[in-house]
Structure 1
């Protein structure tokens, strides 16, 4: 009797301390690097946007699929005349008023010559590119202008962005958010002071009285040719604040601008290097964390990265997958 109780407790502990596997996904579940997820109000259809292919659009009747490739969101490439204008990165999609806004990055790997662009749509199918938002960087800038994600904090639209060079910043946008607000200055909200400063992909989401800053830490890509040391691959961390523009700390109280970050999801089992995340409040499932990951049973190449979804529990005050 005693041994069976101990065994049950060990099993419970393993469940509590582990991570749930991604929910089922059918159809085209790869081609999912840096996914952005939204549900169309008119018919409840889900749309997924991802890096590459001039922002690839996939769609499904349910969040689990079957996902089908539709088209490129910006088939002519960006109006922003920088290297990478035909290979757009890191989409973020959100709706303000009656219009959907698709933010994207124009850059090239390892370069700080970057800018964040925006396109708009009324139906999620057909997009008009407006080009530059006014967030850009070059060699010597305090940040790298990629991975933009717009967030309404109840008063203002705030854009979080950045990576590696100075890590993550935020800036106030106009409403509608086509450009940076006049006179607005960028503020650093997260920084990894050691190593390569490998932190990017910021996404702010609110639950209760807190704004939660989710971000990716570690090596994102090229696992098939240059696999990092164990633990140095992508993982998802979070800090929180009562303000969307600063003061973020992790669960231990460490400032997010001084290396803070509580891990939400990392490699486990056959899931490797999860990151490029966002949060969506699904009408059926409640809050879900979506991201890309490598399924080690399939392969480590960037093109093989799959679309992952997990429900999030905020009941402790911190997101748990």
Structure 2
């Protein structure tokens, strides 16, 4: 674990930095965003929970964001409760095709599945639903099959990280093209404390490390009941030299043993940031961390959550905001 000791030695004086979210204009209320730029014209696309995966577009990461409609206006072909209330999208481009992953579930249930749809443009009306990827969970399963995130390894193989609560975050190899699973899932992150509130994984590669970003803590319902201070949503990270892990935080604690280094937590009027993703954007100046958060000057309701983003800085190999 030489890489870990090198990272740790560079962090002896590092503290968690905080910054206000980047500007957002237009339609900025969002939950579980997934952002990508279309290669043909540079248009930003933002997918989010609700409205059968809502699509918004903008000419810049800061907006103005305009709602275009639903990716899957008829819902999902997956025969599960929640198939018209789709959650937690993830977007990737594979070859000339865009792959949109989504979750089918109901709140608090393990009767869940991750589905996939494809398009060559991402425009409304162009998406083809392929149904389930094969990632499925049931009452009593080791994990909850939601919050999928596709990643391409340096060896050219696709993997998907997924999961929330119960056994937290798992990873499974995917076929090429990545419409279905191609192997057995393994756990890559677990918090043994409390309700095991770890979810929303997103793996980002920056040579020579894979960074496992994830949300931890209570995500929702802040307008009716807020958790004790520090137990609200926050964004953590662990790192690994290989796609399969193990992943460790900056103190050398395994991500499967409750590890996780904070990247972005509540501060000032920003409360409960999470539901994050990371993508490289040369126009905005580097790797972008995007997420949703509560602006306490506006309101705590789930429908009032805002779109946030920041350019990631790197200190001794660790992400900073």
- Using the size of structure 1 for normalisation, the TM-score is 0.93
Runs of 5+ in structure 1 lacking a partner?
Answer: 1-15
Deviations 1:178-224 (A, max 9, x none): 0001xx10000000011100000000001120000000000001110
In the alignment, what sits opposite 1:169?
Answer: 170
* Corresponding residue pairs, total: 304
The alpha carbon displacement at 1:140 in A equals 1.1
Q: 1:251 to 1:42 in 2, by over 3 A?
A: same
Q: Distance in 2 between matches of 1:203 and 1:254?
A: 19
How far, CA to CA, are the matches of 1:143 and 1:204 in structure 2? Answer: 18
Give TM-score, length-normalised by structure 2. Answer: 0.93
Could you say if the C-alpha distance between residues 154 and 18 of structure 1 is closer, same or farther in structure 2, counting changes exceeding 3 Å? closer
Partner of 2:42, secondary structure, is: coil
Who wins on radius of gyration, i.e. which is larger?
Answer: 1
Structure 2 match to 1:307 = 307
Aligned residue for 1:268?
267
Q: Which residue of 1 aligns with 2:94?
A: 96
> Paired residue for 1:319?
319
Shift of 1:17: 5.1
> Which residues in structure 2 correspond to 1:136-285 (within 5 Å)?
136-155=136-155, 156-181=157-182, 184-284=183-283, 285=285
Unaligned runs of 5+ in 2: 1-14
- CA distance in 2 between partners of 1:105 and 1:151 (Å): 17
Greater relative contact order (Cα < 8 A, sep 6+): 2
Distance 1:75 1:230, change over 3 A: same
- Residue 48 of structure 1: SS of its match in structure 2? strand
**Contact 1:207-1:314 at 8 Å conserved across structures:** no
Q: Pairwise CA RMSD of aligned residues?
A: 1.1
Match of 2:4 in 1: none
CA distance in 1, matches of 2:109, 2:69: 28
Instruction: State the 1:293 CA deviation.
Output: 0.3
- Contact kept? 2:160, 2:174, Cα under 8 Å: yes
Secondary structure, counterpart of 2:89 in structure 1: strand
TM-superposed deviation, 1:18? 3.8
1:264-291 deviation per Cα after TM superposition (whole angstroms, max 9, x unaligned): 0000000000000000111121111000
